[in-house]
Structure 1
């Protein structure tokens, strides 16, 4: 599978507990984690390219991925969804927000494709660690599962009923099986 160009803004809270950092391995490391996530998300975007709506097809993408603690995600969950407490993953799609009459953007360099901004994925590492055993995952597998879930949300997937949830989970399993060393993460 071919990946696509990806401008990734990656951050992992440096204050996360040392035990979580050890369990997550390189996926939380500022440098190695960036490279792992960049390669994985790029591959997933390449794998999904043929399924995307025309307005989401691009030679290059931009997105943010933040790995945070429960306090940070609970604040976002309250501010943006009106729900108290932490959740495992939040996805903020760029195409869902913004003023209708935004000022014109500067013209990009035609030699390089302008990345299509998808939005941001925020994952609580603490919640992921708690729920990973319930889902038959280690922490690394749970983080990948949640990232795939967030990415599909940024690309317009939703799970407003059981049929759409089943379809979304099946698509996540396919991404994980194809991009995580051939071993699907099970839910």
Structure 2
């Protein structure tokens, strides 16, 4: 059943890019034209049980390259190598109760950072479009912002299943992994 305007979750998505000097092809323009805010709203509605109560939610999505994501990975995860996606959750652990006077502002969930270069390489290796890979990684990052993790194979399987579900909500065919 599609949500009505009365029960839709309000989402503010800040889509940022730092693409200077990147060797990425023309698919980036098409990627940026996607309805990211609407997609995040649908995803968060589907994940409502994982959300603390709030009048709305804010997420930042930064699309960048290997050099910047490697620096962030080194600085915050002590791994001096590029990665595909990083998620910096604003809230850790159990979500705090929000006082009624604070309920007027959207709740900031955190930042998702994606390397377009990594996404392009992974898409080529996996045989699907780079745009689909970025969407897949965005769903992965959003789940991390909500406390999902994959410390073992069972948790990874559950998370990948949830990512696949999120992509079907926006009429995208999830990538197949073997």
Q: Same fold (TM over 0.5)?
A: yes
Per-residue deviation, 1:82:
0.1
Per-residue deviation, 1:57:
3.5
Please name the residue that 2:15 is paired with: 10
Contact 1:27–1:37 (Cα < 8 Å) also in 2: no
Provide structure 2 residue ranges, at least 5 long, that are not aligned to the other structure: 94-98
Q: Is structure 2 residue 21 aligned with structure 1 residue 23?
A: no
Please name the residue that 1:73 is paired with: 69
Task: Work out the number of aligned pairs and report it.
Answer: 166
- Cα distance change, pair 182–147 in 1 and its aligned pair in 2 (3 A): closer
Q: Is structure 2 residue 84 aligned with structure 1 residue 94?
A: no
Q: TM-score, normalised by structure 2?
A: 0.84
Q: Is structure 2 residue 161 aligned with structure 1 residue 185?
A: no
Per-residue deviation, 1:59:
3.6
Contact 1:25–1:140 (Cα < 8 Å) also in 2: no
Contact 2:19–2:65 (Cα < 8 Å) also in 1: no
Per-residue deviation, 1:21:
4.6
Q: Is structure 2 residue 60 aligned with structure 1 residue 64?
A: yes
* RMSD (Å) for aligned C-alpha atoms: 2.2
Task: Name the CA distance, whole Å, in 1 between partners of 2:37 and 2:21.
Answer: 21
Higher normalized helix content (fraction of residues): 1
- Cα distance change, pair 140–116 in 1 and its aligned pair in 2 (3 A): same
Q: How does 1:150-165 map to 2 (within 5 A)?
A: 150-165=141-156
Provide structure 1 residue ranges, at least 5 long, that are not aligned to the other structure: 98-104
* Higher mean displacement: 116-125 or 4-13: 4-13
Per-residue deviation, 1:134:
2.4
Per-residue deviation, 1:145:
0.3
Task: Name the CA distance, whole Å, in 2 between partners of 1:81 and 1:15.
Answer: 24
